[in-house]
Chains A and B, each alone.
Chain A
Amino acid sequence: MTATLERLPLLVRDWITGFFPEPVRWLVSGLLAIVAILAVFGLYFAYLTLAERKFLGRFQNRPGPNRTGPFGLLQPFADAVKALTKEDIVPQAADKLLHFLAPCLVVAFGLISFAVIPFGRYLIPVDLDAAVLYFFAAGVSSELALFMAGWASHNKYSMISAMRALAQLISYELPLLLAVVPVIMLSGTLSTSKIVVAQGGWTFGIIPHWNVLTPWGFAGFFIFMIAAVAETNRSPFDLPEAESELIAGHLTEYSGFKYALFFMAEYFGMSALCGLGVTLFLGGWQAPIDILQVVPSYVWFMVKLSCVIFCLMWVRATLLRLRIDQLTRLAWKFLVPLGLINLGNAAFWHLSADWSGPLQIVRWAISAAVIVIPFVLIGRTLSSGLAPRTYRYAT
C-alpha cells in the first residue's frame, strides 16, 4: 500500500506515456514533469497568496479575505481574473522589448530552479550531478530579469530599486553559498538527491539524521534562511520594492498580468529556495520519525516546505524593514564571517567523524562552541555603541 502510494506519480506517468509510441516517450515524460510542476506549484502559489493574506490578517487582528467563496477560498481565482482583465499599460518612454521580456524571464528563471529539487523518493525532475550548482546558476539569472524590469521602465524609482536589488542579491549570494558549502562538504556530493539520501536514518527510531540537527547544520540553516529571505526580496529585506520610499520599486510601471507575473515569480522563487533549504538541511522528503514512513515521501516534502514558508510569513508579519546600510552590514559583517567560521566548523566535524564514546560529547561541545562564541562576540561587537532603540507610541 505504502509502496504503491509512494510510486503513484510514477504509475500515472507510465500510464500516460503508454499512449505514445516508444521514440517520443522521453519527450512526453519530460513534458509531463513540466506540466506537473506548473500545475502543482501554480495551485500552490495561488493558495500561498491566500494563506499569506489570511495569516497576515490574523497577525494583525483582522479576518483577511473571507468574501469570495467559503472562507475566501476562491479569492486567488478572483484575483487572477482581475489581473487578466486589467489594462496592460506600457509607459511611452519605456524600452518596450525589455519591458515585455522582464516579467516573462523572471517567471521562467524562477521555474527552472524546480528542476533539481527532489520532491519525493522517486520524484526528481532532473537528477543532475551538479544540481546545487545548477540551482544557483538558475537563481542568479533571475537577477538579470529584475535589472531589466528596472531599466526598461524608464523611471528613476524603478532604476534605483533595480540597483538596490542587484546590490542586495549580490551581497546575499555569498552567505547563501557559504551556508550551503558545509552540506556539500559533509555529504560529499553536489547532487540534491544524494544529499537527501545522506540524511536518511534515525537514532533510536525517533531522532532523524538531518543536517539541521548538528551544530554546523543548525547555524548553516539559519544563515541560509536569512539569506534566502533577502534573496527573495521579502520583508524585512524588501527594500527594492519598499512602498514608502520607492513606490513599489521595479514594479511601479507594471500593471495587470505582468504585475501578477512578478508576484508569481516572487512566490516561485521563495518556494524553490525554501525547497532547497528543506532538501539541504531538513532531510528533504525523509520522514521525521521511523514509523511515519508509511506516509508518502512527497507529502513530507510538501509539509516541511509549507512549515518553512509559514515561518517566513511569520517573520514578515513580525519584523520591521531594514535600512540599506543595515542590510549590507548584516550580510558582510555578520553573515559572511559566521558562514566562514561555520565552514571551518564543518571541516572539524568531518575530521572528527570517527570520534566515539565520550569524545562524541567533546565533538559536540567544540562544534557548538565554535559557532556560538563568534555569534555572541561578533554580535556584541557590531551592536556595541548602538543605543537601544526607543519607540514612541501615540497616546
Chain B
Amino acid sequence: MNLILVLIGGLMLTAAAVAMSLRNIIHSALLLIGSWLGVSFFYLWAGAEFVAFAQVLVYVGAVSMVVLFAVLLTRRDRQDVVVAPETRTRAISALLVGGSVAGLLVSAVLGTPLATGPAETPTLTVKDLGTLLAGPQAAGLLIAGVILTVALLGAVVLAATDSGKEDAS
C-alpha cells in the first residue's frame, strides 16, 4: 500500500523537480504534465476516481494546452524556448527559502498527532457526488460555473489583439 504511494510520490516529485530546473520550457511543460498525471494517479490510489479523471481532463487536456499555446505565442524564434540560466544568488536564495518552508511543513506534519478514521476506503460513487453537487452544493457549483465563464471572457479580452492598436505599432 505505502510502497505504491512512495512510488507515485517519488515519480511525481522527480518529474516536478526536474521540470522546474530544465532550461527548455517545452520540456519543462511536458514534464510538469507528467507530474500532474502523477497527482491524478495519487487520487486514483486514494479512491477519488472522479477527481482523478477530472484532474487529467482539466490539467492534461486543458491547462497544458493553454500553457503550450502560451509558450508558442510568446517567442520570436525557436531558440526563445530555451531560457538563459538564472543567476546563482537567486537560485540559492530560492532553495533556501523553499528548503526552510519544506522543513517547517514536514516537521509540522510529522510532529502533529493526526486523527485518522477507519482504514477501509470510503465509498463515494459518481452518483453520490452528482447528488451532492446538484443538491446541497448547488450554490458552489453555480458559482464555479460563473467564475469559469467570467475567466473565459476575461482571458479572451486580455489576450485578444486590439486591431487598431496593432496596426499603429
Quick check: A137 and B53 within 8 Å, CB to CB? yes
Main secondary structure of the interface of A (DSSP, over half): helix
Chain A, residue nearest B26 (CB): A151
A273 smallest CB distance to B (angstroms): 15
Quick check: A130 and B60 within 8 Å, CB to CB? no
Rounded to whole angstroms, the CA-CA distance of A147 and B68 in the bound complex is 9
Quick check: A170 and B65 within 8 Å, CB to CB? yes
Of the candidates B54, B65, B125, B126, the one whose C-beta lies within 8 Å of that of A166 is B65
Chain B, residue nearest A109 (CB): B60
When distances are taken between beta carbons in the complex, the residues of chain B under 8 Å from A143 are: 61, 65
When distances are taken between beta carbons in the complex, the residues of chain B under 8 Å from A134 are: 53
Rounded to whole angstroms, the CA-CA distance of A129 and B69 in the bound complex is 33
When distances are taken between beta carbons in the complex, the residues of chain A under 8 Å from B54 are: 133
Residues in A74-113 with C-beta less than 8 Å from chain B? 95, 98
When distances are taken between beta carbons in the complex, the residues of chain A under 8 Å from B53 are: 130, 133-134, 136-137
A368 within 8 Å of B (CB atoms) = no
Main secondary structure of the interface of B (DSSP, over half): helix
B18 within 8 Å of A (CB atoms) = no
A173 within 8 Å of B (CB atoms) = yes
B47 smallest CB distance to A (angstroms): 10
A190 within 8 Å of B (CB atoms) = yes
Chain A, residue nearest B78 (CB): A154
A144 within 8 Å of B (CB atoms) = yes
Q: How large is the interface on B (under 10, 10 to 19, 20 to 34, 35 or more residues)?
A: 20 to 34
B105 smallest CB distance to A (angstroms): 30
Quick check: B125 and A144 within 8 Å, CB to CB? no
Quick check: B49 and A130 within 8 Å, CB to CB? yes
Known contacts A188-B127, A190-B126; is-contact A130 B30 (Cβ 8 Å): no
Of the candidates A98, A173, A188, the one whose C-beta lies within 8 Å of that of B61 is A173
Rounded to whole angstroms, the CA-CA distance of A134 and B61 in the bound complex is 12
When distances are taken between beta carbons in the complex, the residues of chain A under 8 Å from B72 are: 159, 163
When distances are taken between beta carbons in the complex, the residues of chain A under 8 Å from B8 are: none
Mask, B102-141, CB within 8 Å of A = 1, is 0000000000000000000000011100000000000000
Quick check: A128 and B49 within 8 Å, CB to CB? yes
A212 within 8 Å of B (CB atoms) = no
B45 within 8 Å of A (CB atoms) = no
Mask, A117-153, CB within 8 Å of B = 1, is 0000000000011100110111011011001100100
Known contacts A130-B126, A190-B126; is-contact A148 B30 (Cβ 8 Å): yes
Rounded to whole angstroms, the CA-CA distance of A134 and B64 in the bound complex is 18
Quick check: B50 and A130 within 8 Å, CB to CB? yes
Rounded to whole angstroms, the CA-CA distance of A335 and B50 in the bound complex is 27
When distances are taken between beta carbons in the complex, the residues of chain A under 8 Å from B127 are: 188-189
A-B contact pairs, 9 of them (CB 8 A): A130-B49, A136-B57, A137-B56, A144-B33, A147-B65, A147-B68, A151-B26, A166-B69, A189-B127
List residues of A whose CB falls within 8 A of some B CB. Answer: 95, 98, 128-130, 133-134, 136-138, 140-141, 143-144, 147-148, 151, 154, 159, 163, 166, 170, 173, 188-191
Taking A130-B49, A136-B61 as known contacts, 19 extra A-B pairs with beta carbons closer than 8 A to each other, sorted by chain A number, are A98-B26, A98-B30, A129-B125, A130-B53, A133-B126, A137-B56, A137-B57, A140-B56, A140-B57, A141-B56, A141-B60, A141-B61, A144-B33, A147-B65, A147-B68, A163-B72, A166-B69, A173-B61, A188-B127
